[in-house]
Structure 1
Amino acid sequence: MTTLPLAIRPALLLGVPNRITLVRTVIAMAVATYAFRTGELTWLVIGYFSYWFGDSLDGWVARRRNEESLSGAVFDIVCDRACSFLLAAAFMATYSATIGPLAIYLIQFGVLDTMLTFSFLLWPWMLSPNYFYKVDRPIYLWNWSKPAKAMNTAAVVISLVVAGQTGAQWLPYTIAVAALVVKVVSSYRLITIICGRRAAVPEEGH
C-alpha cells in the first residue's frame, strides 16, 4: 500500500488551519471587492484586519494542533498574495495618492518577497519560512520575524492612513522603499548562499 507524503495527506489538506486560511481569504477579498464599490476607508480597514487576524490565526492553530504542513504553508503564501493584491488595488482605486507607495510595495511583496518566501522549498525538511532561522538567521530576522512581518505589510498600510490624515506623503514612500531595500539585500544574500559564495549563519543550536 502506497503512503501519501505528509504534505499532501487529505487530513492535513482539509485540516482546520487550511479551512481558516480559506475562510479568512474569502472574507478579506469579499470586503476588498465591496471597498472597490463604496470607496470607503472603513471597509479597507476591515479588509486588512480580517486578512491580518486570519493570517495570524491559521498559523497559530496549525502549531497548536501540530498540523503544520508543506501544502498548508504554500496555500497560506498564495492566499496572502491574493488578499494583499486585491486590498492594495482597492486602496489605489479609492485614493490616488497611494498609487506610488503601493506600486513599490507590490513590486517588493509580489515579486521579491514571494521568491524569498518560497525559497524554503529548497530545503525539503523545512515546513515553512518560519523555520528559516535554521538555515540563516539574518535572512529570517529581516523577513519572517514578527517585527519584519509587521514592517512588510502593516507598516506600509498604516503609513498610508497616517499620510492621508496628516499630509506626510513622504512617510509611506520611505517605508515602502525601506522594505524594498530589505528584500533586495535579502535576495542577494540568499543567492550568494545558494551559490556557495557565502556561508549561511544558522541560529546557534540548529
Structure 2
Amino acid sequence: MTLVDSRAAISIGPFRTVPNYITAVRTVAAVTVGIAALVAGSVLLMALSYGLYWFGDVLDGWIARRLGQETRAGAVLDIVSDRACTAVLGAGLVSLVPDVAVVAVVFLLSFLVLDTMLSLAFLCWPVLSPNYFHLVDRRVWVLNWSPLAKVVNTAGVVGAIAFGEYQLALAVAVAVVAVKLWSVAAVARLLDRKDRA
C-alpha cells in the first residue's frame, strides 16, 4: 500500500517564497559565473560557479524546510534550476578540461535525462517533492534522494574529477547510470499498478 502526504495534494504553491527566490538567485549567479568561466577559460571561476550552485542548492532546501515553505512548485523549480546549472557547469568543465569529456557525457545524460524523469515522477503521487518519495517507495528514495544518495551520486563524480581520477569518475558515473536505470524501471512498475494513489 502506498502512503502519501495529504498536504501535498493541495500544496502546489505559493510560488513567491523565500526558498524559491534563493533558487532563482543561485541559478542566475551560478549560470552567469559559469558562462564567464567558460569565456575566460578560468578553472577558478568554474569552481566558484559550482560553489555558488552547491551552496544555494543546500540553502534553498534548508530554508524551505525551516520556514515550512516546501511546495510542489518549488520542488519543480529546484529540479529545473539544478539542470540549468549542471548543463552549464558540465559544458564549461569539458571546455576547460577536455580529458573529462567521456565522463561528462555519461554523467550529463544520466542527470539531465534519467534523473530528471525520476525527480519529476513525484508529481504522479501526492507528495511534496522527491525528498518525500520514501512515502511511495523507500528503495527508490534511498538510492536517489536520501542525504547519502544525493552526496554520492554527484560528489563521487565531481570529487574524482577534482583529484584527476578520470577513470574512477567514469566508473562512478556508470554506476550511477545503473542505479538510475533500475530506479526508472521501479518507478515504471509503480506507475503501472492499478491501485496507486
Q: TM-score, normalised by structure 1?
A: 0.86
Aligned to 2:108: 106
Aligned to 2:136: 135
Q: TM-score, normalised by structure 2?
A: 0.90
Aligned to 2:148: 147
Cα distance, 1:14 vs. partner?
1.4
Does 2:184 match 1:183? Answer: no
Match of 2:170 among 160, 170, 173: 173
Aligned to 2:36: 34
Cα distance, 1:191 vs. partner?
1.2
| Count of matched residue pairs | 187
Does 2:195 match 1:194? Answer: no
**RMSD (CA atoms):** 1.7
Counterparts of 1:68-147 in structure 2 under 5 Å? 68-123=70-125, 125-147=126-148
The separation in 1 between residues aligned to 2:141 and 2:82, in whole angstroms, is: 18
Residue identity in the other structure for 1:180: V
Q: Is the contact made by 2:26 and 2:56 (CA closer than 8 Å) also made in structure 1?
A: yes
**CA deviations over 1:144-172 (Å, ceiling 9, x no partner):** 01111112222211211112xxxx33111
Moved more, 85-94 or 147-156: 147-156
Q: Is the contact made by 2:103 and 2:166 (CA closer than 8 Å) also made in structure 1?
A: no
User: Is the partner of 1:142 in helix, strand or coil?
Assistant: helix
Moved more, 38-47 or 63-72: 38-47
Q: Is the contact made by 2:106 and 2:173 (CA closer than 8 Å) also made in structure 1?
A: yes
Residue identity in the other structure for 2:96: T
Cα distance, 1:193 vs. partner?
2.1
**CA deviations over 1:68-98 (Å, ceiling 9, x no partner):** 1111111111000000000100001111101
Aligned to 1:203: none
* Larger relative contact order (CA 8 Å, sep ≥ 6): 2
Aligned to 2:4: none
Residue identity in the other structure for 2:12: A
Cα distance, 1:43 vs. partner?
1.3
The separation in 2 between residues aligned to 1:35 and 1:147, in whole angstroms, is: 30
Percent of aligned pairs with the same amino acid: 41
Larger-Rg structure: 1
Counterparts of 1:30-69 in structure 2 under 5 Å? 30-69=32-71
